[in-house]
Structure 1
Amino acid sequence: MTIEVLIADDQDLVCTGFAMVVNAAPDMRVVATAATGTEAIALAARHRPHIILMDVRMPDIDGITATRVILASANPSPKILALTTYDSGDYAIRILTAGASGYLLKDTTAEGLTAAIRTVHHGGSVLAPTTTHHLVTARTTPPPSPRDPAPLDTFTSRERDVFDLILAGASNAEIAQRLHLAEVTVKTHVGRILTKLGVRDRLNVVIWAYRNGAAR
């Protein structure tokens, strides 16, 4: 199945470049481009894309608000991948909380972008490693809605190792290599971590850590 992509970015050259990368991939195509948040909302309703590449800061309505509106009104909902120049923990936490499935920087490679689109399309999540670092080390603003950090006490030592590597932005394959484990074993540990924290995916593990100051 061809992955249909909507690109929302107010910089025409950037939008054109992303479109070229997407359209060059054999399994995806751009169905529309938007220069404002308002256009993104309207075009998402018209074209019902599988994926929206959403800039965070745009004229009229910003990408965070547009994400919230699109996900609240669309049925079925598209997957939204934030694509921005701002390596900011604050922006990341706001758009991820609004429902985005990933936060990627615009300096990613063409291969990195298409891989991220496929990951998000198949229900996964992506987060720029440097943004992960900002999220879990941010201390300038009090973390929103803090929760009980007690679940960490239920982690085995191996689960804590996997947890720390998730916060570092490592993939399952990278974690397996670092800890000398089979990748299926890593997936089992990740599943247990998600269950113990009561979150649905790796991005929300990072959000949980950010809110609770749980990085070490």
Structure 2
Amino acid sequence: MTAAGRPVVRVVLADDERMVRTALKVILDAEPDLEVVGEAADGAEAVSVVRELRPDVVLMDVRMPEVDGIRATERLLASMPAPPRVVVVTTFENDRYVYEALRVGAAGFLLKRAAAEDLVTAVRLVARSDSLLYPAAVRALAASHGRREPGALRVPWAARLTDREAEVLRLLATGLTNAEIAARMGVGAATAKTHVAAVLAKTGTRDRTQAVIAAYESGFIEAGRT
């Protein structure tokens, strides 16, 4: 716990460039509620370190030697009963590697040119189980790299969504928070949260990012619009 009584978010850094890891560590360790507990120089090492240390959040470089960030993320999420939240770190946002990382379960992505305060905010955000969703970028990634099904009506979960849930899914794709969704729909925060949970359950996804990816890939939402 920090002096303010908040739990410390434990972070592992995975990047093949030592200077990048050092810079990230300096930024994160300067915050009282964040702590870098481990580092890895490639994807295979990242899997080993994360399994041993069980951090809350992993900042995972996408392109690393031997095992890249996509495969490392996939292995972690498939092999750990309570896996950490993974944020992939990349140089270019419109990158097929980023889209693949999101598809296998990453909670979001962060650009290497992001400001220090954005990095800190991102770690805190995903640590409390929110998704780091950039609607415009995810839309562009889906348009460029998504593999779309023949039509939304052929996706079993699409027919199971109520009208309200379908609306919530479209609002999720615009990046709205639960509170913003509640305000937009004119319902209470608890009701909005219940609708979001129902969307995740019916789409068979673990978080908001995965639900939005599923919506684009199925054709439920057109990549050119939300």
Q: TM-score, normalised by structure 1?
A: 0.80
Picking from 122, 131, 143, the partner of 2:148 is: 143
Unmatched 5+ residue regions in structure 1?
none
In the other structure, the counterpart of 1:59 is: 65
Would the aligned equivalents of 2:85 and 2:106 in 1 still touch at CA under 8 Å?
Answer: yes
Q: How is 1:65-214 mapped onto 2 (pairs within 5 angstroms)?
A: 65-74=71-80, 77-88=83-94, 90-136=96-142, 138=143, 142-143=147-148, 148-149=154-155, 151-214=157-220
Per the alignment, in what secondary structure is the counterpart of residue 129 of structure 2? Answer: coil
Q: TM-score, normalised by structure 2?
A: 0.77
Change (3 A) 1:23 1:163: same
Alignment: residue pair count: 215
* Deviations 1:28-58 (CA, angstroms, capped at 9, x unpaired): 2112222322332333244332221101111
Distance 1:100 1:150 in 2: 24
Per the alignment, in what secondary structure is the counterpart of residue 88 of structure 1? Answer: coil
Distance 2:211 2:70 in 1: 20
Distance 1:31 1:139 in 2: 36
Distance 1:11 1:110 in 2: 18
Per the alignment, in what secondary structure is the counterpart of residue 184 of structure 1? Answer: helix
1:8 aligns with 2:14: yes
Q: CA deviation at 1:107?
A: 3.8
Distance 1:181 1:130 in 2: 26
Equivalent residue letter for 2:42? T
Equivalent residue letter for 2:84? P
Equivalent residue letter for 1:159? E
Q: CA deviation at 1:60?
A: 2.6
Per the alignment, in what secondary structure is the counterpart of residue 10 of structure 1? Answer: coil
In the other structure, the counterpart of 1:31 is: 37
Would the aligned equivalents of 1:37 and 1:66 in 2 still touch at CA under 8 Å?
Answer: yes
Would the aligned equivalents of 1:92 and 1:131 in 2 still touch at CA under 8 Å?
Answer: no
Identity within the alignment, % = 39
| Superposition CA RMSD, Å | 3.0
Change (3 A) 1:70 1:186: closer
In the other structure, the counterpart of 2:4 is: none
Distance 2:102 2:194 in 1: 24
Distance 1:207 1:123 in 2: 17
Unmatched 5+ residue regions in structure 2?
1-6
